[in-house]
Structure 1
Amino acid sequence: MELLKAENLSHSFDISLFKNLNFTVNTKDCIAICGSSGCGKSTLLHILSTLLKPQSGKVFYNNQDLYSLDDNALLEIRRKDFGIIFQMHYLFKGFLTFENIELASVLSEQSINYELLKKLDIADLMNQKITKLSGGQQQRVSIARVLSKKPKIIFADEATGNLDFKNALNVMDILIDYIKENNAALIFVTHDQELAKKCDEVFYLNNHGIC
């Protein structure tokens, strides 16, 4: 089933990044977006996830033109249906690990998946302050926070960049298992070709387009 569709997307800053991109994302799709530094990978992900409005083109989610919706409707979709994982974790530093995850669950009206916490090897860190955790642990907490929302689409921007290769592979497997089990989709920006190979399809952003 179609979840997300990009139609004639174009965007530029000082230079043109991409022109007239068209593609579709279906349920259970795992798509990697790769390309050289500065080619527009993160910009494209931000547009698809409604964090940045495209200069031209449209993005459809469940056949709704996202950028025709008002801010409140977009916020509701982002809060309940979209999960965004950044390379920086953006956790609340004054909170405990559990409180960071619990907040996302409450706002999206979902319950915490404690089995997921074990798979991410953070179950024993629930009562620790975020500032006491290592960078890799913080990143895994941010991934647990997103998955606790039970999103329909996960947008991941170098989500494993702060993890060693073993943990990166584990996280990738967890994300893929999640989308298969929940009829969701994953759009994964990465420079790591080994992780990209685990996806169903790899889009290379190059020469203003996708190949």
Structure 2
Amino acid sequence: MASLVAENLSFGYDSPILENVTFSLNAGETLSIMGVSGSGKSTLLHILSSFLKPQSGVVKLLGKDIYQLPQSKLLALRRNEIGIIFQSHYLFLGFSAEENLEVASLLSNQKIDHELLSLFGILETLPLNVSALSGGQQQRLSIARILTKRPKIIFADEPTGNLDRETAFGVMELLFDYVRLTQSLLVFVTHDPILARKALHSYRLEHASLKSLE
């Protein structure tokens, strides 16, 4: 059974933003979505991650039809199984890297994973104030903070958009490694065609439809 299933998703206002979008993704797989600004990439990500109900269609995460779940079970799914990575790191400035991780650890009831921090190359930054970290270190810390709860499904909206290409590629390779190691799955939005093609499945959102990158 696929871990993520999207069936005939449609959404729009005066004109369609998404129309009959269908795909599925298994554990350990990655999927990228490209498209011009305003094409509906973030809308699709919000629908898949349970924050925006489609006007028609079905989203199943880990076998659960998420928009048919009671609110309590939907909140539990978000809290325990879904990780969302943003372009901005949303770290607590004025705090150390370790203190930022401790907040996430308390919220997820999980211990800080030093093996994960080592994988992301930020173990030695723990005592440092966030403001002393480079942009790449801050984003790696932000991603590690989100992955502390070991989500099975990861959504990322331009997760490296504020980084130079070399740093961005390094951060995404770490994220791909994490997905392979944990057999989670990743759906991410990007404007970089080279980065998009590094995903197992690569699509462009165009005229409200997903089209495979050739």
TM-score for the superposition, normalised by structure 1: 0.91
Residue identity in the other structure for 1:189: V
Residue identity in the other structure for 2:151: P
Contact 2:136–2:171 (CA under 8 A) maintained in structure 1: no
What is the distance in 1 between the residues matched to 2:68 and 2:127? Answer: 42
Per the alignment, residue 87 of structure 1 pairs with 87
Per the alignment, residue 115 of structure 1 pairs with 115
What is the distance in 1 between the residues matched to 2:62 and 2:188? Answer: 20
Contact 2:83–2:147 (CA under 8 A) maintained in structure 1: yes
Q: For residues 124-181 of structure 1, what are the alpha-carbon distances to aligned partners after superposition, in whole Å with 9 as ceiling and x for unaligned?
A: 3222333444443322211111122211011011001122222212211111111111
What is the distance in 1 between the residues matched to 2:128 and 2:71? Answer: 35
Contact 2:80–2:108 (CA under 8 A) maintained in structure 1: yes
Contact 1:10–1:18 (CA under 8 A) maintained in structure 2: yes
Per the alignment, residue 130 of structure 1 pairs with 130
The secondary structure found in structure 2 opposite 1:2 is coil
CA shift at 1:13, angstroms? Answer: 4.1
Q: Structure 2 matches for 1:22-171, cutoff 5 A?
A: 22-171=22-171
Q: Which moved more, 1:119-128 or 1:170-179?
A: 119-128
Per the alignment, residue 188 of structure 1 pairs with 188
Residue identity in the other structure for 1:142: S
Residue identity in the other structure for 2:186: L
Contact 2:96–2:129 (CA under 8 A) maintained in structure 1: yes
The 3 A distance-change label for structure 1 pair 66 and 49 is: same
The secondary structure found in structure 1 opposite 2:60 is strand
Contact 2:105–2:111 (CA under 8 A) maintained in structure 1: yes
The secondary structure found in structure 1 opposite 2:3 is strand
What is the distance in 2 between the residues matched to 1:135 and 1:173? Answer: 16
Residue identity in the other structure for 1:53: K
TM-score for the superposition, normalised by structure 2: 0.90
Contact 1:139–1:162 (CA under 8 A) maintained in structure 2: no
Over the aligned positions, Cα root-mean-square deviation in angstroms equals 1.8
The 3 A distance-change label for structure 1 pair 171 and 22 is: same
The secondary structure found in structure 1 opposite 2:9 is strand
CA shift at 1:206, angstroms? Answer: 0.8
Per the alignment, residue 176 of structure 2 pairs with 176
Structure 2, unpaired ranges of 5+: none
What is the distance in 2 between the residues matched to 1:100 and 1:15? Answer: 42
CA shift at 1:113, angstroms? Answer: 2.4
Identity of aligned residues (%): 50
The 3 A distance-change label for structure 1 pair 106 and 209 is: same
Contact 1:136–1:162 (CA under 8 A) maintained in structure 2: no
Q: Which moved more, 1:97-106 or 1:24-33?
A: 97-106
What is the distance in 1 between the residues matched to 2:155 and 2:33? Answer: 11
